[in-house]
Amino acid sequence: MLSAMFMVMVMLPIIGITLSNAFNEQLQSALENELRAYSFSIFSVAEVENNQLLMPEQLLENQFNVIQSGLYAEITTIKPVFAENQVIQYPLDLSTLWQSTSLMGVDLTKDLPSPKIGESLFTEVMIEDKPHMVYSISVSFGESEASFPVTLHIFKDEAEFLAITNGFKQQLWIWLVLLIVVFIIAQFIWLKWTLKPLNTLTLELENVEQGKQNSLEQTYPIELEQVTTQLNTLLSTEQNQRKRYRNALSDLAHSLKTPLAVIQSQPALAQDTKEQITNISNMVEHQLKRAQSAGESSWHLGVSIEETANKLVNTLNKIYRDKLLKLSVNIQEKALFKGDEADLMEILGNLLDNACKAAKSKIDFSVSFNADSLRIAIADDGQGIEESQRKAILERGTRADTYKKGHGIGLAIVRDLVSSYNGELTIKNSSSLGGALFVLTFNLGKIKTLPQT
C-alpha cells in the first residue's frame, strides 16, 4: 500500500509539472510567432527615403493604434561603425525612429535587446513594473554604405499570458488532486481484493499455530495452491508420524512392562536383582516418556498456556486444599507454548506439584513472552534448594530420588523436555518468597531440530 501510494503521489505530480512546463513552452512559442507576424506586418508598410523612415499613421492591427492597449511597437536605428578589419559592427546606443500610438504615455525602458542584422531575440522586459514579452528583430534597408539598419521591438503585456497559464495550472492541479484521490482509492480496493487470499492464509496459519485447526481449509488461487497443498501435506505427515511414534512407543512400553513384572515377581530372586529390575523399569519408563515428547518437531502448534495452567491450578487446589495454599497466577495474554500440549502439561504439572509440596502458604506462577523468548517462572515460600543441590539436579543422569522432598519428582523428565525444545531450566532462590524459584526460558529466535528416531 505504501509503495503504491508513493508511486501515485510521485508520478502524478511529475506528470503535472511536465504538462505545465510543456503548456508554458507551447504558449510562449505561440506568442513569439504572433509577435513575429506583427513584425512582418509592420515591415511591410515601412519605407526608407533619403535615410528617413516613413511609417503610416495607422497600422492594420488596431491595438497598435489604441493608447496603452498592451501591444506596443518601436523602431530604433543602429549606426554602423567600421572597424579596422572593415567588419561592420553595431553599437548598443540606439535612437528611436518611430513608436506606435499605443506607446503614448508609457515610460519605455532604455535597456532593450539589440540582435545582429538578420537575427531576432525573444525575451522579457519590465515596463512600468509590469512584465512584458518583447520580440526584437534587426534588418537593414539597402546595402553597403547606403544601408539603413534598424531594430523593431514588439512588446506585449504578459497579463493575458499569465492569466491563461495560471488558469491552466489551477485546473490541472485540481484534476490531478482528484486523480490522486481516485487512484489511491482504486489501488486500495484493488490491493485489498488482490491480497485477500494472503490475508486469509495469514489468519489460517495463525489458527493452525494456535491449535484452533489442523489444516488449511480455504480455497486459494492457483498462485498459492501449490504452497497451501504442500503445507497441508506437511501438517498431515507430521501429525500422522507423531501418532505412529506414540502408538509404537506405547506398544513397546506395554511389551516391556509385562516381562519385567513377571521376572520381578519370582520369589527366588535375590534382593539385589530385584533392585536392578526396578531400576530397569524406572529407566524404561523415563526414556519412553522422553522419547514420546514432541520436542522440536518440524511444525509447532501453538498451545495456550493460560488454558493449560488453569486446568492444572484447579486440579492442584483440590489436591492440596488442606494446605490452604495461595496460588498467584500471572500469565501474559495470548502467551503460547510452541510445542505439544502433553509436554506442556508434563512440564508445568511437575513443577507446580513440586511447588505445592514444598510451599508453606504461597506460590507465584508467572508467564511472559516477547518476539524472542518465552519465560515461565514458578516460585514458592518453602525452604528452597541449596546451591550445591541445584547443580546436582540439573546434571544429566542424576536420579530423581536424590532430590529433597518436595523438589525432584519428575525433574529429570522436565529437564529433558525443556532441553528438547531448545529451552533452559534454571533454579534460583526467590527474592520475594524466600523459597525455590524455577525459571524456564525458551528461545524463540533459534530453532533446533532434533532427529526423529
- Residue 390 shares a structural domain with residue 361: yes
Which residues span the domain enclosing 262? 222-292
Q: Is the dihedral of CA 88, 93, 99, 103 positive or negative?
A: positive
Mean pLDDT of 307-328: 88
The CA-CA-CA angle for residues 204, 205, 211, to 5°, reads 90
Which among 149, 165, 181 is the end of a domain? 165
- Residue 112 shares a structural domain with residue 257: no
- Residues 6 or more apart whose CB falls under 8 angstroms from that of 28 comprise 122, 133, 161
Q: Is residue 183 part of a domain?
A: no
Domain count, the chain: 3
Q: Is residue 375 part of a domain?
A: yes
**Tens digits of per-residue pLDDT, 255-282?**
777 777 777 777 777 777 777 777 777 7
Predicted confidence (pLDDT) at residue 298 exceeds the cutoff of 60: no
Helix (H) or strand (E) holding 315: helix 305-319
Task: Name all contacts of 238-244 with Cβ < 8 Å and 24+ positions apart.
Answer: 238/297, 238/298, 238/299, 239/214, 241/452, 242/294, 242/297
**Tens digits of per-residue pLDDT, 216-240?**
888 888 888 888 888 888 888 877 7
Give 93's pLDDT tier (boundaries 50, 70, 90). low
Inter-axis angle of helices 341-358 and 305-319, to 10 degrees?
40
**Tens digits of per-residue pLDDT, 128-181?**
888 999 999 998 887 766 678 889 999 999 888 889 999 999 999 999 999 888
- Residue 286 shares a structural domain with residue 370: no
CATH number at residue 50: 3.30.450
Predicted confidence (pLDDT) at residue 285 exceeds the cutoff of 50: yes
Q: Which is higher by pLDDT, 58 or 81?
A: 58
- Other CB atoms within 10 Å distance of the CB of residue 103: 21
Which among 165, 180, 209 is the end of a domain? 165
Q: Is residue 448 part of a domain?
A: no
Quick one: pLDDT at residue 39? 92
- Residue 228 shares a structural domain with residue 137: no
d(CA 406, CA 408): 7
Return mean pLDDT, the chain.
80
Nearest alpha carbon to residue 367 among 426, 431, 305 = 305
d(CA 139, CA 141): 7
- Other CB atoms within 10 Å distance of the CB of residue 72: 24
Lowest mean pLDDT among 176-185, 242-251, 341-350: 242-251
CATH number at residue 435: 3.30.565.10
- Residue 315 shares a structural domain with residue 360: yes
Mean pLDDT of 187-208: 86
Mean pLDDT of 79-90: 50
Amino acid at 222: I
**Tens digits of per-residue pLDDT, 359-397?**
889 999 999 988 788 999 999 998 888 877 776 765 544
Q: Is residue 198 part of a domain?
A: no
Mean pLDDT of 211-219: 80
Q: Is residue 262 part of a domain?
A: yes
**Tens digits of per-residue pLDDT, 410-427?**
677 788 788 878 888 888
